[in-house]
Structure 1
């Protein structure tokens, strides 16, 4: 068999053997949803698939803010750039499966100084090098890069989920603080009205000046709440501006009454595909896949790597006759094998395996966290709904008690202390009612976030009409 035939045979054998790539042999944990959710009552179509869930709140301003966030949020832009980096790394890893080609040209002149005569030489060579992927190290490296790319894409979806929830929650907070400010200003007006009534009674000698001091304290405390609420409202607007990629200075929100928004009607059911919808679970799974490939790559170091190199070209003493000069070729095979490395390869395998165990634990932890978050969110939706009728009743009763107390105090049938207690109960009932409404809106946002809804939506989908 000639040397050329041997080379061809070796290439054919290498092609067949390269299909037997090494794998890590490690077992990934299975992921299955629970057979029964503790807070599940019945299925709800509103929870099955709604990637544009924020539109259910019925606010055109909120829809506009979400659109701006998807287009200009800096965290999303950074996550998108990380995807592009991972895509470039995948291209680099895949390139190692192909041979590398190079072209080299040269010219030389030689002679003796002071003596006549020179010798000229010209050459042109095409070089090729190819590493045979006998043990799958190169393909595993490519597959690891592919899994890392998937992890980057799912990480971006996770960032998007967080951004969406943050935009909606911050917008709700702005409207909640606006209502709280209005409520506090209204409480102040009621307290000032009662203060005038107490002052008139003191001037007429009907009550003690102590009543006047007590009511002045109530008024002062109400006024003291306003600066802090206004500052909280400004801070929420600043935070919302940053989320949508705008400068806080000059950023405004129209807002409006919180309870004018639509509260999405969500029953306490749950789709079975919840674990498949969450991008953080998919990200953890992709990272586990990448770690698995790294173990296989480390194990491949125990086997020799085979590299084929070849070159062919022309050499001539005359540039004009280069291509008709002497034809040269060179074929070589390199098969390096490490015999002793002081345990370095074993340590690399141990390190890769430990990294896989870390990713495995993170994957299981992500699964458990997802189940916990969904269960808690379902329970929160139910608990808040159960409070609604009691908060409404408390508000109505407190309002009536405060009205009666003011009338009786004006008629001199009761003490100021009774009025102040009734006023405090009424103010608390109003605030509790507002707090409950705010919590119910937030519980919807949390539920959609933990269900993984909206992570796959893009700005162009947001611009599309509702399905």
Structure 2
């Protein structure tokens, strides 16, 4: 029976970097649970800052570029490890046995056992490579810069898209309120015109015109409701929720509306 083991370490910095990235990923994963609230933990009135935070957590493209940046950082650390020595240890142990038997002459039987052990330690260190390692490190650094820029760009895109839809929901809500008020006024005008016509103090044309205005106000209100439902569904989708999830936003003129502070901090 033979046993053989092999241990190889290609640079301590590579191992420490990989361990650091693993711990950072675990910490970020734990932090993501607290920073990224689910639909059941959203506040009653959704502010712009909260909407953007939830949208950033729910954006799959942003998570993809973030993982790409982590991979590029690991590649850069791996290329740096080429500047460090490589240690290779070897351990080999063997055991052999041979038994010879002579039928009828047990006195002549013999047994031979042998044990062998081999130990080795090799150290290699590249001191000169005519700029090969430096070129690989620079290439990995540039790829990391590209990945970092892509992540920043994706963050800005997600933030601006969420802010645009957030304000569109606010605008459509204000428009719907205006349409509801116009419909209420048109209904009152129709009641007045109908009462005048029944009492003989009004014309049929005024009554018909009031009916037409009321029908138009109803149509405008229904269209405003549809537009509001569409942008609310788009905002809910960006937040990682169902398009039919109910959303209540903080009014822009309320003290809790922090859109001014948020936009002032956006780079």
Q: Which range, TM-score by smaller chain?
A: 0.5 to 0.7
Distance 2:175 2:247 in 1: 21
Partner of 1:175: 170
The answer to whether the 8 Å contact 1:104/1:125 transfers is yes
Matched, 1:221 2:216: yes
- Structure 1 position 112, deviation (Å): 4.5
Partner of 1:418: none
- Structure 1 position 163, deviation (Å): 2.3
TM-score, with length taken from structure 2: 0.62
Question: For residues 370-393 of structure 1, what are the alpha-carbon distances to aligned partners after superposition, in whole Å with 9 as ceiling and x for unaligned?
Answer: xxxxxxxxxxxxxxxxxxxxxxxx
Partner of 1:74: 59
Distance 1:117 1:222 in 2: 108
Question: For residues 415-451 of structure 1, what are the alpha-carbon distances to aligned partners after superposition, in whole Å with 9 as ceiling and x for unaligned?
Answer: xxxxxxxxxxxxxxxxxxxxxxxxxxxxxx7xx9xxx
Partner of 1:454: 266
* Correspondent of 1:88 among 58, 64, 74: 74
Distance 1:262 1:108 in 2: 74
Partner of 2:231: 236
Cα RMSD after superposing both structures? 3.5
The count of corresponding residues between Structure 1 and Structure 2 is: 206
Matches within 5 A, 1:138-217: 138-203=133-198, 204=200, 206-208=202-204, 210-217=205-212
Matches within 5 A, 1:43-442: 61-69=47-55, 72-75=57-60, 76-110=62-96, 112=98, 114=100, 116-130=111-125, 134-203=129-198, 204=200, 206-208=202-204, 210-244=205-239, 249-256=245-252
- Structure 1 position 64, deviation (Å): 4.2
Change (3 A) 1:166 1:133: farther
Distance 1:205 1:158 in 2: 67
Question: For residues 333-366 of structure 1, what are the alpha-carbon distances to aligned partners after superposition, in whole Å with 9 as ceiling and x for unaligned?
Answer: xxxxxxxxxxxxxxxxxxxxxxxxxxxxxxxxxx
The answer to whether the 8 Å contact 2:91/2:118 transfers is yes
Distance 2:227 2:85 in 1: 62
- Structure 1 position 177, deviation (Å): 0.7
Distance 2:155 2:76 in 1: 23
Distance 1:251 1:91 in 2: 45
- Structure 1 position 237, deviation (Å): 3.2
Distance 1:141 1:63 in 2: 41
The answer to whether the 8 Å contact 2:49/2:259 transfers is no
Distance 2:113 2:258 in 1: 93
Distance 1:253 1:78 in 2: 29
TM-score, with length taken from structure 1: 0.38
Q: SS in structure 2 opposite 1:117?
A: strand
Distance 1:112 1:62 in 2: 82
Distance 1:169 1:236 in 2: 10
Distance 1:67 1:158 in 2: 16
Distance 1:144 1:196 in 2: 77
Distance 1:263 1:156 in 2: 23
Change (3 A) 1:214 1:146: same
Q: Which runs of 5+ in 2 are unaligned?
A: 1-45, 101-109
Structure 1 or 2: larger strand share? 2
- Structure 1 position 63, deviation (Å): 3.9
Q: SS in structure 2 opposite 1:107?
A: strand
